[in-house]
């Protein structure tokens, strides 16, 4: 049996399932191997090897024992950050759950090029933003959009995806989900796979992506543009993710409660 040396890596815990009396299967996202499924033997009784580490959303240092064609095992895990602020408020926690579930669904296995590293760095940055920013609809919308961008699904917001013209002027535009971008007035079709969109909304989405999640507080979005943008991002997300994520219902409930509490919505 070929046995490779332990592989030390950082990881974010995306999901875990308890097996038998003491074991735990964990789904990790790592910067060098992408998504990894591993068995943590005796995880629930070994305080020495896993001192409070193997919980959802934790940022960890792990030793992986990787053998070809065999189950991967975790030798030990060390906690880097539990993102405590993210766990203290339901709407922040719901955003974190959404992010790790999305990665569990769409993040690639294997660490091709620098893609996994970039996605890992994006994820850590997003977790810190969820801890620190107002957990309102603006953060939720840009978290969805930026996560899809980080997964390689960036929508075209500046040019028509059909003819390449830069969108400008007061024309009525549309966003086509299958083609992943905006249509100019001449190219748009009324076929149910696109939605009408104003240029101002496209510009605000582009500006938000340019700022990045951590600087979203610089961006003011009027009510009409916010409504359009939420519809666009929601359908774009559904188009690429397919079935509803389990965290989405929790996210909707946490945000409804947050709004009823009178907190600033955007």
Of the two residues 72 and 165, which places its CB atom closer to Zn ion in the complex?
165
- Shortest reach from residue 237's CB to Zn ion, in Å: 24
Q: Is 168 exposed, middle or buried (0-12, 13-18, 19+ CB in 10 A)?
A: exposed
- Shortest reach from residue 132's CB to Zn ion, in Å: 40
Of the two residues 160 and 232, which places its CB atom closer to Zn ion in the complex?
160
Of the two residues 120 and 173, which places its CB atom closer to Zn ion in the complex?
173
Residue identified by tokens 């001449």 is 186
Residue identified by tokens 């907190």 is 263
- Shortest reach from residue 19's CB to Zn ion, in Å: 54
List, in sequence order, the alpha helices (H) in the chain.
84-88, 90-106, 115-132, 137-150, 199-211, 223-241, 246-260
Evaluate whether 254 touches 90 at the Cβ level (below 8 Å): yes
- Closest by Cα among 130, 120, 178 to 153: 178
In the complex, the residues that contact Zn ion under the rule CB under 5 A are: 160, 162-163, 184, 187
- Shortest reach from residue 179's CB to Zn ion, in Å: 11
Of the two residues 163 and 252, which places its CB atom closer to Zn ion in the complex?
163
Q: How do strand 181-183 and strand 7-19 relate by DSSP bridges?
A: unpaired
Of the two residues 1 and 168, which places its CB atom closer to Zn ion in the complex?
168
Q: How do strand 34-40 and strand 59-65 relate by DSSP bridges?
A: unpaired
- Shortest reach from residue 172's CB to Zn ion, in Å: 12
Of the two residues 140 and 183, which places its CB atom closer to Zn ion in the complex?
183
Task: Give how far Cα 10 sits from Cα of 58, 75, 115, 162, 186, Å.
Answer: 11, 13, 15, 42, 49
- Shortest reach from residue 174's CB to Zn ion, in Å: 10
């Amino acid at each position: 049996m070929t046995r490779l040396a332990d592989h030390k890596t950082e990881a974010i815990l995306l999901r875990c399932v308890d097996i038998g009396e003491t074991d735990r299967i964990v789904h990790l996202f790592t910067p060098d191997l992408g998504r990894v499924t591993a068995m943590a033997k005796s995880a629930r009784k070994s305080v020495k090897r896993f001192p409070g580490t193997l919980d959802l959303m934790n940022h960890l240092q792990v030793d992986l024992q990787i053998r070809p064609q065999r189950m991967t095992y975790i030798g030990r895990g060390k906690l880097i950050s539990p993102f405590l602020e993210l766990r203290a408020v339901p709407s922040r926690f719901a955003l974190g759950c959404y992010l790790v579930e999305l990665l569990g669904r769409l993040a690639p296995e294997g660490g091709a090029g620098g893609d996994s590293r970039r996605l890992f760095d994006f994820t850590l940055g997003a977790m810190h933003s969820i801890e620190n920013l107002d957990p309102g609809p603006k953060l939720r919308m840009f978290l969805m959009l930026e996560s899809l961008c980080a997964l390689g699904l960036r929508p075209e917001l500046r040019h028509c995806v059909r003819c390449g013209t830069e969108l400008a002027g007061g024309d009525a535009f549309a966003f086509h989900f299958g083609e992943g971008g905006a249509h100019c007035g001449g190219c748009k079709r009324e076929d149910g796979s696109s939605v009408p969109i104003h240029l101002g909304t496209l510009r605000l989405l582009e500006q938000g992506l340019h700022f990045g999640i951590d600087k979203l507080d610089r961006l003011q979005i009027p009510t009409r543009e916010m409504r359009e943008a939420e519809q666009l991002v929601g359908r774009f997300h559904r188009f690429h993710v397919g079935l509803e994520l389990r965290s989405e219902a929790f996210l909707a409930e946490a945000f409804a409660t947050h709004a009823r509490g009178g907190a600033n919505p955007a």
